Chains A and B, each alone.
Chain A
């Protein structure tokens, strides 16, 4: 353990911790934009700057090691002034249309501008940023007029999904998140998992599927397990007026032990079937070429009866069961048990073998 002083208070932290981690352990809030505990550190947004006594430069606490005996100030006048300037610089390139922004109420830039009283930027010199918004993919909007270049999306694409569909192009103020040759995502290796949307701290990346259906403070978040496959990812259903209006990530180890928030395109964006009018809500039995609604008991009785008749007439091996990766291991086990023990055949297979 090492001991350092933060805001006049002695704090103990394990060796190897960063100053940010020491602050978090001591309950001292530090604003961060580019920092994400699941991603490679960038140290680039400079919001987490702190002052270390005796050092001429401010240190980015997310990457600065906590050292024995250092004296750290996290909200000194110089630090607050620097954070304000950084927020104003970001504000000068950010299109503040919060009234229609999907991320209103769930935006780190908005939160910090509020916290530090940044009402307007002193640095609105030159032409405002004006990037066209025209990526035709069906899943998420890319509005780089709201991008603050924290590169969390790039790092999530690289570190979590290991896809590397996006990177930074151009330099300086003209640097921008881009696919290779700045093409559409559909022409890139992107798999639309939306990990970039998950980590974006502003409204630069938002779900098209959920657009206009409700913002974070309007929805109840209900944890459930994704039904698409047997992996068992945790989903956070966004429920408004008893309807699912979106899926977000629970990124905690306890809430989301299997996937820690990471999802695939189906889990994150493919939930519209839930409220689809075409969705089956009762079993159907076909009579004279037409389906009619039936109860579960009636349907199961019919299936059991017909399976029994087929087995008697043609033998057990005339039947086969084909199971699906969309159900869990346990359910697949039951299916093979049913096939072998009840139907009496070894004709059982699984779609994942194809």
Chain B
């Protein structure tokens, strides 16, 4: 049986998150101290070598992302994406609630690497109590002087899912309507207030202190070679244990669901699992032995994304669940680009029709072509990923759609 491996949650439940002294006693800020003894290019090279890939969803090489920021920019920013809007995802909240100083240290390490003096944490609007905790943590860190000349400010979101997209997040921090920007320019070149900006997820930042302290080789040897390290996962739905866990990326979905989740509740049978949040694909029983690393997941048409693991038992109605997900995207589309603005709306209308047993095969064909176009044509990740639940359920659970058509 695979065991938990804790890197980002190394201090969870072992220290008092309200006390910076606890964090310091547990070896806190030693990673930052070591990072500051290194030159910026060396630090970036070290992170690149560790092959740490972004934990927010897109899995981009973290050190590579940092290297895009010009080293000689007079002003640059470090932004932490703590918008965590995927339904079923709460890993960033757990990480921050259990060890806020770890995030601050990670951001300060990044600040040293890209020569930035100012960090922003963009916190999900539904987490006001975490904002309070973070502000107290920042005050303590300032008081101890551990951040040096790097400062961090917490900004709160207004509840828009799309603001988890890094450029929409930047627009929101600037006080504008939360809409994604066109890329290029990428934030690394012109981000917040048109200055070079590195945006990383909470989990990415909190990996950094241990990587710097223990070295790139140490990290690169953990988990899957192409997506090393661990992943914090949150189990929801019909599992016996709805828990958050941190496992090496070689863990399979079956191990996650059965060893950590304790299997399906009330002795029922497994039907499907959706990984990565609402925009993730639906995975049937036959693919459960796939490891959770990003590339393996992509190989089966799924996304590791935010690490949400939403399990459905045999009694769950796939078409109904997919209809509800379509409603979510219809509601969360920002309205900027045509295929997403109109597509999420029509997709929800078609799904409703199917769900009500009034649809024909033609309606499913229309839904399919619409979904396929949205995946490739939408401006940002929201619209590109929104059709994923529809397409994967059509692929793996078509009989359930067919059963609805027969009601005609």
Which segment of A87-95, A192-200, A215-223, A278-286 sits at the interface?
Answer: A87-95
Supposing A125-B350, A126-B346 touch, asked if A42 and B182 sit within 8 A by C-beta, the answer is yes
In whole Å, how far is A88's beta carbon from the nearest beta carbon of chain B? 9
In whole Å, how far is B385's beta carbon from the nearest beta carbon of chain A? 12
Supposing A43-B182, A57-B384, A171-B333 touch, asked if A86 and B379 sit within 8 A by C-beta, the answer is no
A56 lies within 8 A of chain B by Cβ: yes
Interface readout for A135-156 with B: 1 if CB under 8 Å, 0 if not? 0000000000000110000000
- Name the residue on A nearest B362 (C-beta): A122
- Name the residue on A nearest B329 (C-beta): A172
Q: For B333, what are the chain A residues with a Cβ–Cβ distance below 8 Å?
A: 171-173
Which of B334, B338, B366, B369 neighbours the largest number of chain A CB atoms within 10 Å of its CB?
A: B338
A86 touching B377, Cβ below 8 Å: yes
Cα–Cα, bound, A214→B373 (Å): 39
B335 touching A168, Cβ below 8 Å: yes
| Interface residue ranges, A against B (CB under 8 Å) | 33, 41-47, 49, 56-58, 60, 63, 65, 78, 81-82, 85-86, 89-90, 92-93, 122-123, 125-126, 148-149, 167-168, 170-175
A172 touching B341, Cβ below 8 Å: yes
Q: For B7, what are the chain A residues with a Cβ–Cβ distance below 8 Å?
A: none
In whole Å, how far is B393's beta carbon from the nearest beta carbon of chain A? 18
Q: For B377, what are the chain A residues with a Cβ–Cβ distance below 8 Å?
A: 46, 49, 57-58, 82, 85-86
| Interface residue ranges, B against A (CB under 8 Å) | 160, 177, 182, 184, 330-339, 341-346, 349-350, 353, 366, 369-370, 373, 376-379, 384
Q: For B379, what are the chain A residues with a Cβ–Cβ distance below 8 Å?
A: 43-44, 46, 60
In whole Å, how far is A123's beta carbon from the nearest beta carbon of chain B? 4
Please tell me which one of the listed residues B337, B342, B343, B376 contacts residue A57 in the complex, with CB atoms under 8 A apart.
B376
A60 touching B182, Cβ below 8 Å: yes
Cα–Cα, bound, A63→B336 (Å): 15
Cα–Cα, bound, A123→B343 (Å): 9
- Name the residue on B nearest A47 (C-beta): B338
Q: For A42, what are the chain B residues with a Cβ–Cβ distance below 8 Å?
A: 182, 336
Q: For A149, what are the chain B residues with a Cβ–Cβ distance below 8 Å?
A: 335, 338, 341
In whole Å, how far is B174's beta carbon from the nearest beta carbon of chain A? 15
B338 touching A86, Cβ below 8 Å: yes
B332 touching A89, Cβ below 8 Å: no
Cα–Cα, bound, A243→B337 (Å): 41
Cα–Cα, bound, A82→B343 (Å): 12
- Name the residue on B nearest A122 (C-beta): B366
Q: For A90, what are the chain B residues with a Cβ–Cβ distance below 8 Å?
A: 338, 342
